Structures are given as structure tokens and as C-alpha cells.
């Protein structure tokens, strides 16, 4: 039984530290305390977060204690992982607002009734100066500069705030506070998780086993899924938007997305990879199957089929989504003659970030008005000519002009 658990719980892991450590923890013959922390630096969890949450659910279903930590204290510092500069510190109010829906979103993967959940402000906020000095003494500056992103910034002459050195120590102290046996995270968290082992040693605890999961590439197929890179699928995305985003991923990521984010079966990724290679599986068909599965998972049975029908109505039949937000254009969009340049309309409707961005979208053929492609970036229209009509940019962005 223990060997079966080891095979399941270690499956898909990028790395387990120390080697053989998980086997030793399982041999203790008691439920392990398995920790995963996430900082509410932005309001929504993404599909990338679910890669680790799904592994935590595996531990939970195997009889272990899932310990979910919302970093309502550490988010104020900002995780320096992968950052080339000091992140702006968030206020307690900003973090609280971002964290408001995190538990509900995590509940789409975890059984929260059987989980232990904490905000790490519980133990970090009351810490005294004496406690902070003890924690800070665990690591040296030289150890911190072994971290790749810190070292690159130091060697490049870019500033590193002292508070950034504290981040991995506070994350490690979370492991002390909850007495973690295992900590889960993405591969970008390896340094922080290993620091947690040292912090536990310093506080007289047996160090946790570190299990990292692969990072999920975002919609661009290159960089990790991130809201700051705008290449993400949020768990709160409406069904139609979630389906459309998933249909846009590169074909060579289909098998990887199925492996890391779905319950389509452990044999499917190999089948899909070989089928895509030999042409026996059409990428579009498999992508649809995956997208339906994920939309059903986060929006309820049948939501995937409905989102697919909406997708086809919009893209195959040039129809409209079931719901299009109505937008009132700012008055300054219209000039003295009462007409608006189409690029300014796009900006005013929230479909472009600037006039230049709007002009490029038009020149690339990505802008439609009531389904008809706009080809003239100099087009001017009155408010009456725009009222009630649907402006569309790309495949997923729509606005009905009020």
C-alpha cells in the first residue's frame, strides 16, 4: 500500500528533495502534514496554480492533511522569485481584497471541509522584534546570493531590498508554524522551499520534504502562466472566455495541459502526443475535448458543451456571445464635429490600450463592427452610427456601444 502511495504521490513531480525523503515520511505510518502556500498578489487563481493544488488533493485523498496557506502577510513583501527588480509592496487592504475569493477558488480543487486553512498573518504579524532577529539569523547573505535571481541582480548592479531576503525566511517560518512534513510548490519555488528546511532545523523540527511540480506554460506557449504576462487562464474566467483561451494554446502543449490540469487519464498524454505526431489525432478535436473538460471542471457539468457552442457561434458562424458588455464611451472620444476616429473608439471601449495599439489591431485585420471587418484605420463614425452596435477585437473581446 505504501509503495502504491509513493508511486501516486511522486508521479509527475519535477524534483523531490531529499532523494528518498518522501518514502521515509510515508514510512512513519501517520497522516503527513502537506503544505502549499499561495500569495494573493492578484485577485484570481490561475490554471497554473491548479497544477500544485491537484497534487495537494492527491495527498488529501490518500489520507494526509492538506494545509493550505494564503500568504496574507508574505504577499505584502512580494515573492522575489523570478523577479529582475524589487516588487512593489502591497498594503494590507490590497492583500485582503485579493484574498477574498482565494479559499472559494481553491475549493474547486481541494476538499476544504477536510483541509486545514490559514492566513500566514496569524503567526507572522504578532512576531516580535526578538522573533524577527532570530528568524533573520537562520541564513547568511552569501546563502541568499546563491539564489539565481538575486545573484543576477547583484552582479548586474540592480538593487535588492533587504526585505526581499526576508521573504523566503517568512515562507520557511510558515512550515514551522504548521509543522509541515512536506511542502509543495512549482519549480520556481525550489529555493524558498529548501530554505524552509533550514528554518525548521533552526527551530528544532525535522525538515520537510520538498516536492516541486513543473510550471505550466501560458497561452503564449513560452513563458510560465502569469497574470502579469497576460498569458493566463483564471479559474474565475467565464466559461466562454475560458474555452476560447484554451483553444488558443499551441498544439504542442495539448498533451502537457491534459497531463498537468485535467483528469482525462494518465494514458492520455502519451496517446495524444503520439497521435498528434502521426496525424491520427486532429489538434483542434483534442483541444476541444480538453477545453470542455476544464470548463466542466470549474463551471459545472454541461458548461463545456455550452461554451463550445458559443465559441462556434462566434467564430464559425460569425455570431455573438450570449452576453456582451455594454460600454458607454467617454465624451472626449468625439471631436468638435461629433465624430470619433475608430481607434479612439476601441480605446474608449476598453478594447485597446492606446491609439497606436488600436491602429495596429485594425491593420492586422483583428477589428470588426457587427461582424464586418474594419480595414480603414482612418474611419470616423458618429455616436448614432455606433449606438447599439458590437465592436470586436480579436477572438474574445467584445463591447456593445451604449
Distant-in-sequence, close-in-space partners of 41: CB < 8 Å, separation ≥ 6: 75, 78, 79, 90, 95, 98
Q: With 70 as the cut, is the pLDDT of residue 316 above it? A: no
Residue 85 has pLDDT above 70, yes or no: no
2-213: CATH topology is Rossmann fold (3.40.50)
Asked if the model's pLDDT at residue 20 lies above 90, the reply is yes
Q: Which residue, among 37, 66, 21, 17, has the nearest Cα to 174 in the 3D structure?
A: 37
* pLDDT greater at residue 353 or residue 246: 246
pLDDT at 124: 95
For residue 88, pLDDT beyond 70: no
Whose cell is 489520507? That residue is: 63
The predicted model gives 4-28 an average pLDDT of 93
Report whether the peptide linkage leading into residue 91 is cis, meaning its omega lies within 30 degrees of zero: no
CB 72 within 8 A of CB 90: no
User: Between the CA atoms of 66, 70, 73 and 75, what dihedral angle is there, to the nearest 10 degrees?
Assistant: 130
Are the C-beta atoms of residues 136 and 185 closer than 8 Å to each other? no
Report the length, in residues, of the chain.
402
Give mean pLDDT, residues 198-225.
94
64-76 average pLDDT score = 93
44 confidence band (pLDDT: 50, 70, 90): confident
pLDDT over threshold 70, residue 143: yes
Q: What average pLDDT does this structure show over 49-53?
A: 95
Q: How far apart are CA 186 and CA 214, in angstroms?
A: 6
Higher pLDDT, 279 or 127: 127
Q: Is pLDDT above 70 for 224?
A: yes
Per domain, the residue ranges of the chain are 2-213, 239-315, 326-401
Pairing of strands 15-17, 209-213: antiparallel
Decide if pLDDT at 246 tops 80: yes
Beta bridge partners of 341: 380
C-alpha cell at 117: 486553512
CATH topology of domain 326-401: 3.10.290
Q: Which of 175, 180, 188 is nearest to 59 (CA)?
A: 180
Round the average pLDDT of the chain to a whole number and report it. 88
In percent, how much of the chain has pLDDT > 70?
94
pLDDT bin (cut points 50, 70, 90) of residue 375 is confident
Burial string for 138-173 (b: 16+ CB within 10 Å, else e) reads bbeeeebeebebbeebeeeeeebeeebbbbbbbbbb
- Separation of alpha carbons 352 and 2, rounded Å: 55
pLDDT digits (tens, 9 = 90+) for 163-201: 889 999 999 999 999 999 999 999 999 999 999 999 999
Residue 96 has pLDDT above 60, yes or no: yes
Residue 98 has pLDDT above 90, yes or no: no
pLDDT tops 90 at residue 312: no
3-state secondary structure the chain: CHHHHHHHHHCCCCEEECCCHHHHHHCCCCCCEEEEEECCCCCCCEHHHHHHHHHHHHHHHCCCEEEEEECCCHHHHCCCCCCCCCCCCCCHHHHHHHHCCHHHHHCCCCCHHHCEEEECHHHHCCCCHHHHHHHHCCCCHHHHCCCHHHHHHHHCCCCCCHHHHHHHHHHHHHHHHHCCCEEEEEHHHHHHHHHHHHHHHHCCCCCCEEEEECCCECCCCCCECCCCCCCCCECCCCHHHHHHHHHCCCHHHHHHHHHHHCCCCCCHHHHHHHHHHHCCCCHHHHHHHHHHHHHHHHHCCCHHHHHHHHHHHHHCCCCCCCCCCEECCCHHHCCCCCEEEHHHHHHHCCCCCCHHHHHHHHHCCCEEECCEECCCCCCEEEHHHHCCCEEEECCCEEEEEC
113 versus 373: which is more confidently predicted? 113
The topology under which CATH files domain 239-315 is Tyrosyl-Transfer RNA Synthetase (1.10.240)
Give residue-wise pLDDT tens across range 333-371.
Answer: 887 778 888 999 999 998 888 888 788 888 877 788 877
How high is the pLDDT of residue 267? 64
Query: Span 373-379, mean pLDDT?
Result: 84
Query: Beta strand pairing status for 339-341 and 326-327?
Result: unpaired
Q: Give the cell for residue 154.
A: 547583484
Phi first, then psi: what are they for 332, rounded to 5°? Answer: -75, 0
pLDDT above 50 for 1: no
Give this prediction's pTM. 0.76
Confidence of residue 315 (pLDDT cuts 50, 70, 90): low
- The reply to whether domains 239-315 and 326-401 share a CATH topology is no
Amino acid at each position: 500500500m505504501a509503495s502504491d502511495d509513493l508511486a501516486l504521490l511522486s508521479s509527475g513531480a519535477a524534483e523531490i528533495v531529499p532523494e528518498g525523503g518522501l518514502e521515509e515520511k510515508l514510512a512513519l505510518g501517520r497522516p503527513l502534514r502537506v503544505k502549499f502556500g499561495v500569495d494573493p498578489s492578484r485577485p484570481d487563481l490561475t490554471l497554473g496554480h491548479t497544477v500544485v493544488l491537484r497534487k495537494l488533493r492527491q495527498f488529501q485523498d490518500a489520507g494526509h492533511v492538506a494545509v493550505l496557506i494564503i500568504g496574507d502577510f508574505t504577499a505584502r513583501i512580494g515573492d522575489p522569485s523570478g523577479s529582475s527588480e524589487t516588487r512593489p509592496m502591497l498594503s494590507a487592504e490590497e492583500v485582503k481584497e485579493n484574498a477574498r475569493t482565494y479559499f472559494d477558488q481553491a475549493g474547486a480543487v481541494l476538499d476544504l471541509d477536510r483541509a486545514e486553512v490559514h492566513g500566514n498573518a496569524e503567526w507572522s504579524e504578532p512576531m516580535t522584534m526578538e522573533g524577527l532577529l532570530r528568524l533573520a539569523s537562520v541564513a547568511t547573505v552569501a546563502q541568499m546570493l546563491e539564489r539565481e535571481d538575486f545573484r543576477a541582480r547583484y552582479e548586474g548592479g540592480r538593487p535588492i531590498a533587504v526585505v526581499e531576503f526576508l521573504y523566503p525566511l517568512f515562507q520557511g517560518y510558515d512550515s514551522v508554524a504548521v509543522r509541515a512534513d512536506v511542502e509543495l510548490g512549482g519549480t520556481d519555488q525550489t529555493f524558498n522551499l529548501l530554505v524552509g528546511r533550514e528554518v525548521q532545523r533552526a527551530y528544532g523540527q525535522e525538515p520537510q520534504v520538498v516536492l516541486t511540480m513543473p510550471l505550466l506554460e501560458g497561452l503564449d506557449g513560452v513563458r510560465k502562466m502569469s497574470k502579469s504576462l497576460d498569458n493566463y487562464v483564471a479559474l474565475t474566467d467565464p466559461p466562454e472566455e475560458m474555452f476560447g483561451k484554451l483553444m488558443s494554446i499551441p498544439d504542442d502543449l495539448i498533451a502537457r495541459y491534459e497531463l498537468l490540469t485535467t483528469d482525462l487519464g494518465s494514458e492520455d498524454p502519451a496517446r495524444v502526443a503520439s497521435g498528434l505526431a502521426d496525424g491520427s489525432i486532429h489538434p483542434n478535436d483534442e483541444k476541444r475535448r480538453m477545453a470542455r473538460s476544464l470548463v466542466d471542471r470549474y463551471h459545472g457539468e454541461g458548461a463545456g458543451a455550452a461554451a463550445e457552442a458559443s465559441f462556434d457561434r462566434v467564430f464559425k458562424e460569425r455570431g455573438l456571445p450570449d452576453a456582451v458588455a455594454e460600454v458607454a464611451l467617454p465624451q472626449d472620444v468625439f471631436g468638435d464635429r461629433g465624430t470619433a476616429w475608430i481607434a479612439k473608439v476601441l480605446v474608449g471601449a476598453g478594447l485597446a490600450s492606446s491609439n497606436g495599439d488600436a491602429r495596429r489591431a485594425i491593420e492586422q485585420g483583428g477589428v470588426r463592427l457587427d461582424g464586418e471587418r474594419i480595414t480603414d484605420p482612418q474611419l470616423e463614425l458618429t455616436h448614432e452610427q455606433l449606438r447599439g452596435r458590437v465592436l470586436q477585437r480579436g477572438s474574445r473581446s467584445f463591447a456593445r456601444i451604449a
